[in-house]
Structure 1
Amino acid sequence: MASVAATGDHRRVKSAAFLFACGCAGAAPHWFDPARSLWPAISLALMLGGYGLRSVMRATLPKADAESFEPSARTLPTLDVVVAARDEESVVTRLVERLSALRYPTGRMSTWVIDDGSQDRTPQLLDSLAQKHSQLQVIHRPRDAGGGKSGALNAALGQLKGEWLLVLDADAQLQEDLLERLIPYALDGGWSAVQLRKAVIDADRNWLTRAQAMEMALDAVIQKGRQEGGGVAELRGNGQLIRRSMLQASGGFNEDTVTDDLDLSFRLLSQGALIGILWDPPVQEEAVPSLSALWRQRQRWAEGGLQRFFDYWPTLTSAQLTMRQRWDLACFFLLQYGLPVVSFADLSTSLVSRSMPTYWPLSVVAFSVSGMAYWRGCRGRQEGPAIPQPGLLNLLVAIAYLGHWFVVIPWVTLKMAVLPKRLVWAKTSHGGEQLPARA
């Protein structure tokens, strides 16, 4: 499959330019007259805070009195469920059993699991499962085949026949009626792809998994708000439904990125394809249980997130997108990636110059909007695992937890600007947590 023609050297130059621009923006107010030093932060707080608040409040979430679902009587399209698995012996049997329980018309769904060079018992387990489940197709790839998860998915893409494909991670757990509800939502909405809300199944393990469960709700609220405001919604890897013809028109999965989902979101956007967000039912997955695992995961997410903006910047700023889409992407980029790097430069300059930080108004507004997104996402109706309630303590911990991005993103930006490009697909380990009872 075709990949984006963007080299590591180009990304280093763009990363260095971004780092320099943010450094100048963070340091410059310290040399203004004290009466004007807060003006840049206040101006940005009004602009970006307004954008964030509108996105959060626009999101339409399920109501407590929502009607029960009735299966569609229409003829559903053909579908392939695709999973790339590497060293997943702890979850692969459960995965296949869950997928075999999904309700869908006989003969219209196939399941594909790509063993991506596993060195544990995953290959043997898959071959044994394929003998029990006729709809399961197994593909074995050598460990050094390259391309990471994207390469594994591309290995299956050429063999798929379904009109749609649902991409899952190996730890995914799904309600039996998910496909009966997901496919009609995609067809009725005219979406080219749909991302399911991600729900954490082990939120009660420790404070870190609890914060991640709340973070997934926050992300879904913001995604819904961006979608409903005419902005850009994005895929999140696990639980992404894609129309196969549109995926192929976009060149398949990019093997030159560490986050295939974020990259594909922009590739679809460049084709005029729109992504919908489905709140219920969710795709259910495990959170990472330790700070070291979180650090590895978030470095990969930050690198892939920045990389896609650098790679597709000409398209993202062109008239090919609507004004609302361009405005949405610009504000999201400044909040997600610009603010952490600018804040780091601001804090560093304040320590050197022995002056007060100047961007605190923008940070206060950004964390306040995040608190509102937490409150909306965690207090509403949802299926799947219960989301921690947005009480004062949970909110304070979850907001403080978001501060890790103010360390991860500056660090990753510096690495991208200084070190040669090296693609490393850091795998998230799965322990095999069981699905709670349906809410």
Structure 2
Amino acid sequence: MTTTVVKGDHRRAKSAAFLVVCGCAGAAPHWLDNIRALWPAFTLALLLGGYGLRTVMRAALGQTVVTDGSAQPWTEERYPSLDVVVAARDEEAVVSRVVERLVNLRYPAGRLSIWVIDDGSEDQTPELLDGLAERYPQLRVIHRLRNAGGGKSGALNTALQQMSGEWLLVLDADAQLQDDLLETLVPFAIEGGWSAVQLRKAVIESDCNWLTRSQAMEMALDAVIQQGRLAGGGVAELRGNGQLIHRQTLEGCGGFNEDTVTDDLDLSFRLLTHGAMVGILWNPPVQEEAVPGLTALWKQRQRWAEGGLQRFLDYWPTLTSSQLTGRQRWDLACFFLLQYCLPVVSLMDLVTSLITRSSPTYWPLSFVAFSISGLAYWRGCRGDHAGPVIPRPGLWNLLVAIAYLGHWFVVIPWVTLKMAVLPKRLVWAKTSHGDLSQQLG
């Protein structure tokens, strides 16, 4: 785990201001009479509920190919040079598996290179990679010192300096791909005119327990919302594992940001501010392991929450400017209110109701948000999907999965408080990978 102190930014003050504003918004209605106290929640429920409903229903599930009208077939000569890159730290349990799968990907000879960065591993990862490099000439291995800095972004930037492909596909060490995935992904990106494409994420072995099932359903929900936002003229985002990026566009954005804990979310906004759009490919997906336990989930979600809020704090002036379209600004505003403001406001609403012995006031908005999430679950889990089986959206699975989403109402306020109070630090706390069934015991 590498920790870097970030200097010269204002994230701490911005986090504190965000916390104060949301806290006041959550507490203020309690000083109104019973009827007027519900007006803010009902107003937001109508606005954000309408946005959420349109987003979920617009999603085109099962979509695989978007073309520009060209009838030209995809011969080998049309495929661009492509670098597949994996940043690996202490991944002895899965690194051999991912390399074996990558070398079996179908792609024109001489146009595919595979890069794995050993980012200061202290287990057997370096030795395993060196042995694999002797067996597979298309595999390039880069070794970095553990304290080289920059976290995953630093590792990816190191590889970027040595790669020469027109496109790069970034994967996690636990990624699993269909052999023919590139034959769909690359044409989708080029014919769709996308600067980057995010594959739908699918959880393997999702039937282990309620937690793995909920995560599998959550990935389907996320892809539904992503496609719906994009269909409505809004913004789609990268998700780290399974992101295809045009190299020239990436370099124009300055590469990967080493001052963030979530390189993918940060890059999504920098692409947006450069006018580069991200597409979403439903089929085929990139397959990955679920987080096996609540402790690991808590660590992962703290990192996601911190990185997600950081990007809004860092790029807010641009995100609210005329540089973006009106639909993009509206989409970002609604997403920000639902994802980051609602959990903090709801917690302060609950705390204030306990102190003043009054009823909570924001329950209509929370009810609408969870209801729309249930609809997104239902659509995503019933969609035409390749890859691992997604749990069926029966009543019990839906209720458990909706309750599972409640963890964000704890994670977001806690992370916001830490960002507002503690010194700013960058920590790459990687998710452990391995045989999921063994991890679950």
TM-score, with length taken from structure 2? 0.94
Report how many residues are paired.
424
Aligned partner of residue 254 in structure 1, secondary structure: coil
Matches within 5 A, 1:131-146: 131-146=134-149
Tell me the residue number matched to 1:115: 118
Q: Distance in 2 between matches of 1:12 and 1:119?
A: 33
Q: Distance in 2 between matches of 1:343 and 1:33?
A: 19
Tell me the residue number matched to 2:45: 45
Q: Distance in 2 between matches of 1:365 and 1:74?
A: 50
Aligned match for 1:349, one of 333, 347, 352: 352
Aligned match for 2:389, one of 386, 391, 409: 386
Unaligned runs of 5+ in 2: 1-5, 65-72
Describe the superposition over 1:386-406 as per-residue Cα deviations: whole angstroms up to 9, x where unpaired. 000000000000000000000
Letter in 1 for 2:365: L
Matches within 5 A, 1:86-165: 86-165=89-168
Give the CA deviation at 1:62.
2.0
Structure 1 ranges of 4+ moved more than 2 A:
6-9, 70-74
Tell me the residue number matched to 1:15: 15
Confirm or deny: 8 A CA contact 1:63 1:380 kept in the other structure: no
Q: Distance in 1 between matches of 2:21 and 2:404?
A: 27
TM-score, with length taken from structure 1? 0.95
% identical aligned pairs: 77
Q: Distance in 1 between matches of 2:195 and 2:333?
A: 23
Tell me the residue number matched to 2:173: 170
Aligned partner of residue 10 in structure 2, secondary structure: helix
Describe the superposition over 1:228-251 as per-residue Cα deviations: whole angstroms up to 9, x where unpaired. 111000000000000000000000
Corresponding position: 1:216 with 2:230: no
Give the CA deviation at 1:34.
1.1
Describe the superposition over 1:369-428 as per-residue Cα deviations: whole angstroms up to 9, x where unpaired. 000000000012100000000000000000000000000000000000001101111110
Tell me the residue number matched to 2:232: 229
Matches within 5 A, 1:16-415: 16-62=16-62, 75-415=78-418
Aligned partner of residue 17 in structure 1, secondary structure: helix
Q: Distance in 2 between matches of 1:47 and 1:383?
A: 34
Aligned partner of residue 237 in structure 2, secondary structure: coil
Aligned partner of residue 78 in structure 2, secondary structure: coil
Aligned partner of residue 361 in structure 1, secondary structure: helix
Q: Distance in 1 between matches of 2:158 and 2:53?
A: 42
Give the CA deviation at 1:432.
3.3
Letter in 2 for 1:118: S
Letter in 1 for 2:103: S
Q: Distance in 1 between matches of 2:86 and 2:74?
A: 25
Give the CA deviation at 1:127.
0.3
Matches within 5 A, 1:425-436: 425-433=428-436
Alpha-carbon RMSD across the aligned residues, in angstroms, is 1.4
Q: Distance in 1 between matches of 2:402 and 2:312?
A: 26
Aligned partner of residue 423 in structure 1, secondary structure: strand
Q: Distance in 1 between matches of 2:142 and 2:63?
A: 42
